[in-house]
């Protein structure tokens, strides 16, 4: 039986996974899976590395995807007045506690994951559009904490052409609601995804222990009720089974210098490596009481879906870097730079570094 992993994370999923894009491609080639699907967290920064690695490695075709963060309203954030209420005159610990409470009250802390993959060239373009919107309109980064790029389902629907979607992990849309025991919300989310993607939607089964057992059982029933196909994924966070130690070191580094000596250091989840079809089926047997026939169908369906995902990347760097210009390109470039100044708050930067704003203007116009 053939199996293709449809949920790879490399070290470009900052603070989440380890292993370079190249080592993931090498392992897929070694297992003769023939296809690799990269779904970095909230980013498609790895698409060019994936394109090149697959170009250099005969017999491996790339699939471009993303694991994106979904919220109720990607533009929602606390007002200045609300922030002032919880921050003014308080120490750092108190501020953070009150800010978390405010975020919970506003629904900002309720984030879910959704995997999107490009089936067509238009789908690749829409991956760029969605991640760009997530890092601009949807970016939320209070108190210099880790930036949180976000989209909502309305935005996903707007840019869904050429994309397929799937969910089923314990932190995903549907899965997180099942973990919380909110089956009605899980059903509502599934209905919303069916409305957006139709037959381009799949539900995922993961062969991991713990809370995934509850999720898998419910997802299998929902897939039958809504006539949505099941796929199997291992949610790969590192390349080989023995890489968990390296993964824990990487997780510690991402926590700003935490070391393995600290008893509270982050642990690497076990068995999130690249697996064969036989290993997937065996893991499901070990941890889950699902129908063996259903599991085999989900494993096989992953390879079938991979064959349908044919979005290609136009890797011409000039097309990617040069904007459309009019007959006066010099004027257009100056206008683009001034727009960039506004987004980057250049006056504030100039003041902070003690550089007169006139210096920036002279550099731009000379």
Which residues, in sequence order, are CB contacts of 143 under 8 Å at separation 6+? 87, 95, 96, 99
CA distance 190 to 114: 11
Whether residues 234 and 140 share a domain: the answer is yes
In this prediction, residue 110 carries a pLDDT of 84
Domain boundary among 278, 301, 317: 317
Task: Read off the pLDDT band of 322 (50, 70, 90).
Answer: low
Regarding whether 327 and 237 lie in a shared domain, the answer is no
Q: What residue has token string 């993964």?
A: 247
* pLDDT tens digits for range 163-219: 999 999 999 999 999 999 999 999 999 999 999 999 999 999 999 999 999 999 999
Residue finishing a domain among 294, 317, 340: 317
Whether 263 and 114 map to the same domain: the answer is yes
The pLDDT value given to residue 209: 93
The reply to whether 215 and 258 lie within a common domain is yes
- In a domain, residue 121? The reply is yes
C-alpha to C-alpha distance for 248 and 262, rounded to whole angstroms? 12
DSSP class of residue 268 equals P
Q: % helix / strand / coil in the chain, to the nearest 5?
A: 50, 10, 40
Angle between helices 47-56 and 21-30 (to 10 degrees): 40
Average pLDDT over residues 307-330: 78
| Residue 35, strand partner residues | 61
Q: In what order do the strands lie in the sheet with 230-232?
A: 35-41, 61-70, 112-118, 163-167, 201-205, 230-232
At 326 the pLDDT is: 81
Instruction: Tell whether 1 is covered by a domain.
Output: no
The domain in which residue 124 lies consists of 21-72+110-317
Mean pLDDT of the chain: 90
pLDDT of 317 reads 59
Is residue 29 scored above 90 in pLDDT?
A: yes
Q: Is the pLDDT of residue 144 over 60?
A: no
CATH of the domain at 142: 3.20.20.140
Q: Are 296 and 356 part of one and the same domain?
A: no
- Domain membership of residue 102 (yes or no) is no
Domain stop point among 292, 317, 342: 317
Residue 312 and residue 227 share a domain: yes
**In terms of pLDDT, which residue wins out, 307 or 320?**
307
Query: pLDDT tens across 65-124, in order?
Result: 999 999 999 988 888 788 777 777 777 777 778 888 888 888 787 889 999 999 999 999
Examine the pLDDT at 232 and tell me if it is beyond 70: yes
Residues 183 and 244 in one domain: yes
> Total structural domains in the chain?
2
Domain assignment present for 265:
yes
- pTM for the model stands at 0.85
- Does 321 have pLDDT greater than 60? no
Give yes or no: residues 212 and 65 share one domain: yes
State the pLDDT confidence band at 254, using cuts at 50, 70 and 90: confident
Residue 359 lies in a domain: yes
Which pLDDT score is estimated for 143? 59
For position 86, what pLDDT does the model report?
74
Strands 163-167 and 201-205: parallel
Residues 309 and 329 in one domain: no
Q: Is the residue at 250 inside a domain?
A: yes
- Both 347 and 300 in one domain: the answer is no
Q: 270 and 334: one domain? A: no
Residue 177 and residue 240 in one domain: yes
Instruction: Answer whether residue 91 is part of any domain.
Output: no
Does 105 map to a domain? no
pLDDT of 256 above 80:
no
């Amino acid at each position: 039986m053939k199996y293709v992993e449809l949920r790879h994370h490399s070290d470009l999923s900052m603070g989440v996974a380890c292993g370079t894009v190249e080592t993931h491609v090498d392992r897929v080639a070694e297992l003769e899976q023939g296809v690799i699907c990269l779904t970095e967290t909230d980013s498609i920064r790895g698409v060019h590395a994936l394109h090149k690695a697959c170009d250099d490695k005969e017999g491996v075709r790339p699939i471009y995807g993303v694991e994106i963060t979904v919220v109720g309203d990607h533009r929602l954030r606390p007002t200045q007045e609300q922030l002032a209420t919880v921050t003014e005159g308080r120490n750092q610990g108190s501020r953070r506690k009150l800010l978390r409470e405010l975020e919970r009250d506003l629904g900002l802390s309720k984030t879910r994951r959704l995997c999107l993959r490009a089936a067509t060239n238009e789908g690749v373009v829409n991956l760029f559009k969605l991640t760009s919107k997530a890092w601009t309109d949807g970016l939320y980064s209070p108190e210099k904490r880790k930036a949180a790029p976000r989209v909502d389902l309305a935005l996903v629907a707007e840019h869904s052409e050429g994309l397929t979607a799937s969910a089923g992990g314990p932190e995903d849309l549907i899965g997180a609601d099942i973990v919380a025991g909110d089956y009605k919300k899980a059903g509502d989310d599934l209905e919303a995804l069916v409305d957006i993607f139709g037959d381009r939607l799949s539900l995922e089964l993961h062969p991991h222990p713990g809370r995934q057992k509850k999720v898998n059982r419910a997802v299998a029933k929902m897939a039958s009720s809504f006539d949505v196909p099941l796929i199997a994924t291992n949610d790969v966070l590192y390349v080989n089974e023995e890489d968990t130690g390296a993964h824990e070191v990487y997780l510690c580094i991402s926590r700003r210098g935490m070391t393995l000596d600290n008893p509270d250091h982050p642990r690497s989840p076990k068995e999130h490596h690249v697996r064969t079809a036989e290993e997937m089926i065996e893991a499901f047997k070990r941890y889950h009481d699902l129908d063996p026939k259903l599991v085999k169908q989900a494993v096989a369906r992953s390879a079938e879906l991979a064959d349908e995902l044919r979005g290609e990347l136009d890797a011409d760097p000039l097309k990617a870097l040069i904007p459309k210009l009019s007959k006066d390109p010099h004027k257009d470039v100056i206008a683009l730079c001034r727009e960039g100044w506004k987004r980057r708050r250049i006056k504030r930067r100039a003041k902070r570094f003690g550089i007169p704003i006139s210096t920036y203007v002279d550099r731009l116009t000379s």
